[in-house]
Structure 1
Amino acid sequence: MKKSLFGIVMALALNTAALADTPNTLSEHEKAAGWQLLFDGRTTDGWRSYGKPELSAEWHVENGTLTFTPGKAGDIITEGTFTSFELSIDWKISAGGNSGIFFHVVEGPSYAYMTGPEYQLLDNAGRGEPPLEQAAALFALYAPSRDVSHAADSWNTSKLVVNGEQVEHWLNGVKVVEYDMSSDDFKARVAASKFSPTGRNAAVMKDFAKARSGHIALQDHGNKIAFRNIKIKPLP
C-alpha cells in the first residue's frame, strides 16, 4: 500500500513537472496568480500588424513558436492594451539578428517606436553594438549592467516589469536595467537622444514614452526571430 501510494505521488509530481515544461501553457499556480497567455503555440490569435486589422504572413506559427521570417511585414502588436504588468517571453534570434519588444505603444504615428520604449533583443556577439543597444537595454537610453545573453539561435528568457513609472528589464533571470519614467534622469536621457521631443526628430517623436497604457509590440528589424511562452500578468 505504501509503495502504491508513493508511486501515485511520484506520477503526479512527474506529470506536474512535465506540464510546467510544456511551452505556451500556464501552470495552475500561474493561473491563480493572474497570468495570461498572449500566444497559445497554435494560432496567432490576439496579434495583428501595427496599423492594420490583420497579421502579415511573415509572422506565423512554426513548431510552436511565433516566428518572424524576413519580408516586408512590419511590427506586430497585441490586440489588447496594458498599463502596469509583468511580461515574460522567450526569444531565439538568428546570427547577427536585431529585434525588440515595445510597450505602451499607441497607434497613429508611422511606427511603434515613435511612442513605445524598446526592450532591445539582439545577438550581442554577432552584432557588436554599443552597450546602449545590446540585449535587454532600454534601447539608446539605458545599457544593461552586464551581458547575460545567450548565443544566437539559443533561447533567452526576458522579463519586463512595468509598475506605474517604475520599470525593470530582466534577462535570463538577472535584473540588468531599471529606471523611473517620471525621473529627471529619464527625461534628460530622452532629451539627449534621437527620441527627443524637441530635437531634429521632434515632429515624429513628440509622443515618445508619454503614454502610460498601450499595446505590446514585437519588432520587424529584418532578421529572423522566434518567440514562445509569451505571458503577461497585469499589476494593480
Structure 2
Amino acid sequence: MLNRSVLSVMLLASCVFAVSAADNQLSEKEKAEGWELLFDGQDLSQWRNFKRDTLSDKWQAKDGVLQLSGAGGGDILTKKTYENFELQVDWKISAGGNSGIFVLVDETGNAIYSHAPEIQILDDARHSDNKIDSHRSGSLYDLLAAPASAQKPAENWNHVVIRLEQGHLQVWQNDVVTTSIVIGSSSWNTLMAASKFANWDGFAKQHSGHIGLQDHGDPVYFKNIKIKEL
C-alpha cells in the first residue's frame, strides 16, 4: 500500500502531465496576460491563403494539428496583422522537408517571402538546403544561423518563440536563442548586404504585417499557435 506522501507525488505528477499535454489551449494565466490562440485544434477561420480570401483544403485541421497534407496548398497567413508581438508555435517537419514561419508579411510583392523575414523549418539531416548554416532550422533565413543545439531531427516537435518589439527581433528554438537583432540597424544592414535579399526592394521595411506559414511542397505540422500583442 502506498503511503500518503508517495500518493501526493504521483497525483502532482499526473496533474503536471495533464497540463503539459493540453494542446491548443490557453491557461488562465495566459488569458489574463492577453494571449490569443491562432489555432484551437479545429478552427482555421483565422487563416487564409496569400492574396486570397479563402484557404486551400490542403491545409487541414486533423487530430488537433494544423497540417499541410501535400504540395499545392499555397502559403498561408493570418487574417490579422501585428506590429509588436510575441508568437509561440510548435512545428514538426516531414523527412526531407522544408517550410518556414514568416513575420511582417505584406501582400504587395509577388510571393509571401518577397518582403517578410523567415524563421526556417527544415530537415537538417536530409534536405539539400542544409549546406548553408543560415538555412537550417531555427535560423533567420539567409541572415543568421541557429546553433546546432537548437535543432532536432525531422519528425520531432520543436517549440519556437518569436518576439518582435520596436524592431527588435528575437527568436528562441527549443529554449536556445537563435536570433537577436534590430531590423534596420547597422548590424542588420551588414547581414542584408551579404544575403540574397541585398537587392530585394521593400524587404523587412514594413512596421507591421501578417504571420505566415509556408507551403514548400512538403508535409508540415503546427500546433499550439498563440500570440500576444505587446
CA contact (8 A) 1:168 1:179 kept: yes
Distance 1:129 1:35 in 2: 37
Report matched runs for 1:81-120 at 5 Å: 81-120=81-120
Question: What does the per-residue CA deviation read over 1:46-70, in whole Å, with 9 as the maximum and x for residues that have no partner?
Answer: 0000000000111111111000122
Distance 2:100 2:208 in 1: 18
Report matched runs for 1:120-139 at 5 Å: 120-127=120-127, 128-139=130-141
CA contact (8 A) 2:71 2:216 kept: no
Distance 2:35 2:16 in 1: 18
User: In the alignment, does 2:161 pair up with 1:156?
Assistant: no
User: In the alignment, does 2:213 pair up with 1:218?
Assistant: yes
CA contact (8 A) 2:75 2:212 kept: yes
| Number of equivalences | 223
Distance 2:160 2:36 in 1: 16
Task: Report the secondary structure of 1:32's partner residue.
Answer: helix
Question: What does the per-residue CA deviation read over 1:97-133, in whole Å, with 9 as the maximum and x for residues that have no partner?
Answer: 1110100111121111111100111111122332110
User: In the alignment, does 2:67 pair up with 1:62?
Assistant: no
The one-letter code matched in structure 1 to 2:89 is I
Question: What does the per-residue CA deviation read over 1:125-165, in whole Å, with 9 as the maximum and x for residues that have no partner?
Answer: 12233211011111001111334211111111111111111
Distance 1:56 1:118 in 2: 21
The one-letter code matched in structure 2 to 1:82 is Y
Between 1:217-226 and 1:70-79, the stretch displaced more is 70-79
Instruction: Note the C-alpha offset of 1:43.
Output: 1.9
TM-score (norm. length: structure 1): 0.88
Task: Report the secondary structure of 2:18's partner residue.
Answer: helix
1:191 is matched with: 193
Instruction: Note the C-alpha offset of 1:14.
Output: 5.4
Runs of 4+ in structure 1 off by over 6 angstroms are 10-13
Report matched runs for 1:137-176 at 5 Å: 137-176=139-178
Task: Report the secondary structure of 1:113's partner residue.
Answer: coil
Distance 1:154 1:15 in 2: 24
Question: What does the per-residue CA deviation read over 1:197-235, in whole Å, with 9 as the maximum and x for residues that have no partner?
Answer: xx3xxxxx3111001100000001111000000001111
CA contact (8 A) 1:146 1:176 kept: no
Residues 15, 45 of structure 1: alpha-carbon distance in 2 compared, 3 angstrom cutoff: farther
Extract unaligned runs of 5+ from structure 2. Answer: 1-6
Between 1:61-70 and 1:125-134, the stretch displaced more is 125-134
1:228 is matched with: 223
The one-letter code matched in structure 2 to 1:215 is H
Extract unaligned runs of 5+ from structure 1. Answer: 1-6, 200-204
TM-score (norm. length: structure 2): 0.90
Between 1:93-102 and 1:19-28, the stretch displaced more is 19-28
The two structures, once aligned, show a CA RMSD in angstroms of: 2.1
1:202 is matched with: none
Distance 1:27 1:20 in 2: 11
CA contact (8 A) 2:71 2:219 kept: no
